[in-house]
């Protein structure tokens, strides 16, 4: 017998989840998907179990725009505990080095400028990056030596927010795709001549999605019990707001839905490399690109 089809509703939209401490992103997605009884779902940007905050969840046709949210700028607040480094670079790991050095405010603020802009960063050994087909954290937990290549990441802002005591410092960072806060912490501690690890990490923004508008699993569960969970969904178009938009007619909408090109129209200048999205009366129809004087669909959205 063949596999049974997955059950669930065909719903479309975005849920801005405030991921709780202790759950993986996949577990949080699974819980939200169950509460909404959604047939198709995905998340944009993994958060470690020890991290909390904004985890954008896409449902239905919105899953086709996850890649745009993966590319979006992200904002985190994190706390460093000076004087100890751990295997995982956070409080989950074992202490592997100690230091009596506690950096002062002036030294910290002077060092921050080294980490602004495009920088090279080596991801943590305990990360989801694949090495020879296996997750790095799986190899690291098995006691294997994990050697990861450095990668270029973008840091747009790094600010010292507070120093509650000599052992701790609180920071805010605005960064691009692929940035590891734990690696940033490791390199900052090294630049300051000390050891450190992350004891608190919270993501406060992913593109247009902010913590102020995020909903907890507890609240979602309460709303689901009243059959009001669907009211938490933001429209698919939210994840396309940063793209150039092209309004099309009813006839053009049918052409695009069947994969055919349509004219860009006079007076509209679109970059040859930029992605464009078409819509009919505000409802997204497809994502595509300029092909001469035509719009060429790449990803078409089904009606919902």
Catalytic residues: 48
**Distance between CA 118 and CA 223 in Å, rounded?**
43
Half-sphere exposure of 5 (CA within 13 A, CB side): 5
Characterize 200-214 residue by residue with b for buried, 16 or more Cβ atoms within 10 angstroms of its Cβ, and e for exposed.
bbbbbbbbbbebeeb
- Name, in order, each residue with C-beta under 8 angstroms of 297's C-beta and a sequence gap of 6 or more: 256, 259, 260, 261, 278, 285, 286, 287, 288
**Distance between CA 172 and CA 109 in Å, rounded?**
12
Burial class (CB in 10 A: 0-12, 13-18, 19+), 284: buried
**Distance between CA 168 and CA 77 in Å, rounded?**
13
């Amino acid at each position: 017998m063949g596999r049974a089809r997955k059950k669930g509703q065909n719903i479309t939209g975005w849920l801005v989840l405030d991921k709780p401490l202790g759950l993986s992103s996949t577990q949080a997605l699974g819980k939200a998907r169950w509460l909404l009884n959604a047939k198709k779902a995905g998340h944009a940007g993994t958060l470690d179990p020890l991290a909390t905050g904004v985890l954008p969840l896409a449902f239905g046709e919105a899953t086709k725009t996850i890649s745009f949210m993966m590319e979006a700028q992200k904002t985190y607040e994190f706390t460093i505990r000076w004087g100890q480094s751990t295997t995982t670079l956070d409080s989950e790991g074992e202490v592997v080095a100690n230091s009596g050095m506690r950096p002062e405010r002036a030294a910290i603020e002077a060092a921050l400028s080294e980490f602004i802009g495009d920088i090279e960063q080596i991801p943590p050994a305990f990360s989801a990056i694949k090495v020879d087909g296996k997750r790095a954290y799986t190899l690291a937990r098995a006691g294997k030596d994990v050697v990861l290549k450095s990668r270029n990441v973008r840091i747009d802002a790094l600010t010292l927010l507070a120093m509650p005591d000599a052992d701790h410092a609180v920071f805010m960072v605005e960064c691009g795709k692929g940035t590891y806060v734990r690696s940033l912490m490791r390199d900052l501690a090294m630049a300051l001549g000390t050891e450190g690890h992350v004891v608190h990490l919270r993501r406060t923004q992913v593109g247009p999605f902010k913590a102020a508008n995020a909903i907890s699993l507890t609240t979602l569960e309460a709303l689901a019990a009243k059959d009001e969970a669907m009211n938490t969904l933001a429209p698919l178009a939210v994840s396309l707001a940063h793209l150039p938009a092209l309004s099309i007619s009813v006839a053009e909408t049918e052409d695009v839905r069947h994969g055919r090109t349509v004219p860009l129209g006079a007076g509209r200048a679109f970059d040859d490399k930029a992605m464009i999205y078409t819509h009919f009366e505000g409802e997204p129809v497809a994502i595509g690109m300029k092909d001469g004087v035509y719009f060429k669909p790449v990803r078409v959205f089904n009606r919902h």
